[in-house]
């Protein structure tokens, strides 16, 4: 029986209007890194974000990975605050459906590769944090625990006191699919931005997800 849901955050519950990753790196991240004497090309950075390289990879360039990511995450938080002030961070119109999952008695967790501060900022911005029993962002004690690693999802399961068989992962990306499966969960992909092979189930939005969950719960209660 499904007793809990682990949600991705960015592009699953909220999105960023006009966001361009390369532009953000060039105009926000690179200047901040250079102030600290750090040079890191975009291509290498992008590979660490996409999971092609571990986030600790920068050690081979003589860069302290924890220092690097604290700088980047600090910039990210300031960037999110600026976008929020301009009304450019949006919650998807169906984000309020989270309340219905709670009404079903489900435990909810949110996990993100962004920092804890960045993750909580956007959830609080739209009053979504109150729906979650646990929220986990990047863990500086284990930088390589970001998705596609199962680490954050396993932390969430532990916090919710659930087994992998009792929860599902909901996200939008291949990283979510890989991390969910590595943690032993079935994965539902929300296909707002296109379908990605490998998920166990597909829904167009959170409203459709609610219908799916209701059917699963009711079929268990009333076989």
**Given this model, what pLDDT does residue 215 score?**
85
Give the closest residue to 139 by CA, choosing from 125, 155, 122: 155
Helices (H), the chain: 21-24, 30-35, 42-50, 65-85, 98-103, 116-125, 151-160, 174-182, 206-221
Domain 4-16+90-221 has CATH 3.40.50.10860: no
**Given this model, what pLDDT does residue 220 score?**
55
Q: Is the pTM of this model over 0.85?
A: yes
Each of the 223 residues of the chain gets a pLDDT tens digit; together they read 899 999 999 999 999 999 999 999 999 999 999 999 999 999 999 999 999 999 999 999 999 999 999 999 999 999 999 999 999 999 999 999 999 999 999 999 999 999 999 999 999 999 999 999 999 999 999 999 999 999 999 999 999 999 999 999 999 999 999 999 999 999 999 999 999 999 999 999 999 999 999 887 766 543 3
Q: Which residues contact 209 (CB under 8 A, 6 or more apart)?
A: 97, 170, 188, 190, 203
**Given this model, what pLDDT does residue 223 score?**
36
**Given this model, what pLDDT does residue 222 score?**
37
**Given this model, what pLDDT does residue 218 score?**
67
- According to DSSP, residue 37 is labeled T
Instruction: List the domain boundaries for the chain.
Output: 4-16+90-221, 21-85
């Amino acid at each position: 029986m499904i007793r809990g849901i682990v949600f991705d955050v960015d592009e699953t519950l909220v999105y960023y209007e006009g966001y361009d990753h390369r532009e953000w790196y060039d105009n926000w991240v690179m200047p901040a890194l250079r102030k600290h004497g750090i040079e890191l090309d975009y291509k290498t950075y992008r590979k660490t974000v996409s999971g092609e390289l571990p986030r600790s990879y920068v050690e081979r360039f003589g860069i302290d990975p924890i220092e690097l990511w604290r700088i980047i995450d600090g910039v990210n938080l300031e960037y999110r605050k600026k976008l929020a002030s301009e009304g450019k961070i949006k919650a998807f119109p169906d984000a309020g459906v989270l309340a219905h999952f709670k009404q079903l008695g489900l435990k909810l967790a949110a996990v993100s590769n962004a920092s804890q501060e960045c993750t909580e900022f956007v959830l609080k911005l739209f009053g979504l944090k109150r729906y979650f029993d646990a929220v986990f962002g990047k863990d500086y004690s284990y930088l390589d625990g970001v998705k596609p690693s199962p680490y954050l999802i396993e932390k969430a399961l532990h916090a919710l006191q659930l087994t992998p068989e009792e929860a599902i992962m909901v996200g939008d990306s291949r990283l979510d699919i890989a991390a969910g499966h590595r943690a032993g969960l079935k994965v539902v992909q929300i296909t707002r931005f296109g379908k990605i092979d490998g998920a166990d189930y597909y829904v167009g939005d959170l409203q459709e997800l609610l219908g799916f969950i209701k059917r699963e719960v009711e079929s268990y209660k009333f076989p």
